[in-house]
Amino acid sequence: MGYDRHTVGSFWASFGYAAHGLWWSYQNERNLRVHTVVGAFALAAGLLEHISADHFLLLIVMLVLVISLEIVNTAVEAVTNLAHPDIHPLAGLAKDLAAAAVLWAAFGAAAVGVWVLAGRLPLLPARITAWADVTPQGLAALAAGLTLVTVAAFVRPRHPPEEADGDH
């Protein structure tokens, strides 16, 4: 089998399409941003609490699962709306099932997070203040960072979503 420039080009182009989908999802899907922020807090808590590598990997796997299913849910909604723009019981069922998969994974991720971090969470505020140097500037920087991350999770972009490219 020889070198096929078209195949290699398509291979690399697929990464661009995936990046576009990921970017679009983060810009337009509030729940994806919320899951990302909650997951980031869980990972940060894991780092601050020095959890084992196995437990940290488990948190990462659960975060990736929830985010991946949220993106699949968005795709199911888009395809369902395209295929059947009118209200139809089966279209609603398809959307409900995709949303249920995300919800189930989020419950699982929450259970794993509680299992991994529950005994350590009462100590977390002390570790955070120690990390922030317990100076007014350190605490202000920490509060500003938490506020920015939280607002970014809930604020919707002002521009309307652009139509998806039809060339792939």
Q: pLDDT (tens digit, 9 = 90+) per residue, 109-150?
A: 999 988 888 776 666 666 666 655 556 666 566 666 767 666
**166 domain residue, yes or no:** no
**86 domain residue, yes or no:** yes
Return the CATH number at 27: 1.10.287.3610
Q: Which domain holds residue 53?
A: 21-154
Residue numbers annotated as active site? 70
- Residue 68 has phi, psi (to 5 degrees) of -60, -45
**135 domain residue, yes or no:** yes
**60 domain residue, yes or no:** yes
Predicted confidence at residue 63, as pLDDT, reads 95
Domain count, the chain: 1
**14 domain residue, yes or no:** no
Task: Specify whether the CB–CB gap between 121 and 44 falls below 8 A.
Answer: no
The CA-atom distances, in angstroms, between 99 and each of 31, 66, 69, 77, 165 are: 11, 11, 9, 9, 25
**164 domain residue, yes or no:** no
Predicted confidence at residue 141, as pLDDT, reads 66
Q: What is this structure's pTM?
A: 0.70
Predicted confidence at residue 137, as pLDDT, reads 61
In this prediction, the residues of the chain whose per-residue pLDDT falls under 50 are 1, 3, 5, 160, 164-168
Buried-exposed string 109-140: b where 16+ CB fall within 10 A, e elsewhere: beebbeebbeeeeeeeeeebeeebeeeeeeee
Predicted confidence at residue 114, as pLDDT, reads 86
**168 domain residue, yes or no:** no
Predicted confidence at residue 168, as pLDDT, reads 47
